[in-house]
Amino acid sequence: MRAYHLETPGTVDGIAPRETDRPEPGPRDIQVRVRAVSLNKRDLLILNGTYPLKAVPDVIPLSDGAGDVVAVGAEVTRFAVGDRVASTYFPKWIDGRITPAQIDQPGATLPGMLAEYARLDENAAVRVPAHLGWEEAACLPCAGVTAWHALTGGEALTPGQTVLTLGTGALSLFVVQFAKTLGAEVIATTSGATKADRLKALGADHVVNYSENPEWGTAVRELTGGCGADLVVETNGPDTIEQSMRAAALYGQIVLLTTGNPRRPGIEISNVVYAASLATIRRVFVGSRAHFESMNRALTLHGTRPVVDRTFGFDEVHEAFRYYESGVAFGKVVIRVA
């Protein structure tokens, strides 16, 4: 089979294709013919050596992939040949709170999905919704589950409450879709009219242009009658956290999903403490298999489809990475494997 390996970190050209044997399943494993994979920000961080979890040398990249089961181990009970499955981001995190023993990830400390075949522990996969194609299913394990966990993993979000999401990254687009599914009013931020129109078409009720409104936290408060957003899905960390706190309701939740720019100067807490008052900040690390399965039930019930920006071929891996790195995508960047 063909598989890509990160031979030389720091450069896209260091991701090299190689012919190797198929990974045969052990007693509790499934062998998956990978049909499609997708890129996430963490894949660029791993490539550049700045991801908090150090990648093993020569690792097969990418955490997110989907395909069909072509062989099963003798003790497998969860899947059968022919099942359509997706990988999970944390293969050992099934439910409950994550522990240090459960932090291993495909594409970092474990072989990833950028290969024609993958071996997964049967507990490290989920069935994908029947209405999704392979490219769509490959979008779910990281961005989709993170967005779902952000909205459902804390204090319950009730219909009619307001959710604020930042920008037009794939994760933020999932938040828009899921928040509408949960009955929320959605405010999104972006920097241009074209993207604003696409956000509204996806379900956003209001869009704030942060280029025209640098103090966009105030604009969000005006849109909510001075109350602020009940839940802010914060994807930029230090770069935007002050405005997010200003935008949050008195007892709002701010879900912090990234550390943003590590070189940015520290936040002046006096600038935000009075505006944010009693808002709560919590961190989210993608999610467990249980979060993934819960999300899939919602996707199936509502027929929701991920937003795919562009699909590349298996011989176009370098082009896919460079396109994703450019930051122009509206939605997921996918590589079709087979």
Average pLDDT score, the chain: 94
42 vs 188, 283, 286, CA distance in Å?
23, 16, 11
How many Å apart are CA 79 and CA 156, to the nearest integer? 32
Considering the domain architecture, whether residues 75 and 119 belong to the same structural domain is answered as yes
Position 266 scores a pLDDT of 52
Is the pLDDT reported for residue 294 higher than 70? yes
Considering the domain architecture, whether residues 93 and 63 belong to the same structural domain is answered as yes
Query: What's the rounded mean pLDDT across residues 38-63?
Result: 96
Most confident of 129-138, 149-158, 260-269: 129-138
Is the pLDDT reported for residue 260 higher than 50? no
Helix and strand totals (H; E) in the chain: 10, 15
Position 94 scores a pLDDT of 98
Please, are residues 113 and 106 in contact by the beta-carbon 8 Å criterion?
yes
Number of domains in the chain: 2
Half-sphere exposure at residue 332, Cβ-oriented, CA atoms within 13 angstroms? 27
Beta strands in the chain (DSSP E): 2-6, 15-19, 29-38, 64-72, 84-87, 117-121, 125-127, 162-166, 185-190, 206-209, 229-234, 248-256, 280-283, 308-312, 332-336
Position 216 scores a pLDDT of 96
Task: Check which CATH number belongs to the domain holding 320 and give it.
Answer: 3.90.180.10
Query: Closest Cα to residue 304, out of 221, 209, 182?
Result: 182
Q: Which residues contact 18 (CB under 8 A, 6 or more apart)?
A: 2, 3, 4, 5
Q: Is residue 250 part of a domain?
A: yes
Position 273 scores a pLDDT of 55
**Could you read off the pLDDT of 214-250 as tens digits, one per residue?**
999 999 999 999 999 999 999 987 789 889 999 999 9
Report the range of poorest mean pLDDT among 36-50, 253-267, 301-315.
253-267
Considering the domain architecture, whether residues 119 and 211 belong to the same structural domain is answered as no
Owning domain of residue 104 = 2-142+306-336
Considering the domain architecture, whether residues 120 and 158 belong to the same structural domain is answered as no
Considering the domain architecture, whether residues 327 and 208 belong to the same structural domain is answered as no
Position 318 scores a pLDDT of 98
Contacts 24+ apart (CB under 8 A), 220-225: 220/164, 220/187, 220/246, 220/247, 221/246, 221/247, 223/187, 224/162, 224/187, 224/249
**Could you read off the pLDDT of 89-144 as tens digits, one per residue?**
999 999 999 999 999 999 999 999 999 999 999 999 999 999 999 999 999 999 99
Query: What's the rounded mean pLDDT across residues 196-205?
Result: 97
Copy the structure tokens of residue 15.
Answer: 């991701």
Please, are residues 78 and 31 in contact by the beta-carbon 8 Å criterion?
no
**Could you read off the pLDDT of 303-330 as tens digits, one per residue?**
999 999 999 999 999 999 999 999 999 9
Q: How confident is the model at residue 270 (pLDDT cuts 50, 70, 90)?
A: low
Considering the domain architecture, whether residues 68 and 93 belong to the same structural domain is answered as yes
Could you tell me whether strands 206-209 and 64-72 are parallel, antiparallel, or unpaired per DSSP bridges?
Answer: unpaired
Query: What's the rounded mean pLDDT across residues 165-184?
Result: 97
Q: Reduced to 3 states, what is the DSSP secondary structure of residue 120?
A: strand
How many Å apart are CA 328 and CA 312, to the nearest integer? 15
Please, are residues 127 and 83 in contact by the beta-carbon 8 Å criterion?
yes
Q: Which residues contact 269 (CB under 8 A, 6 or more apart)?
A: none
Considering the domain architecture, whether residues 265 and 161 belong to the same structural domain is answered as yes
Considering the domain architecture, whether residues 205 and 100 belong to the same structural domain is answered as no
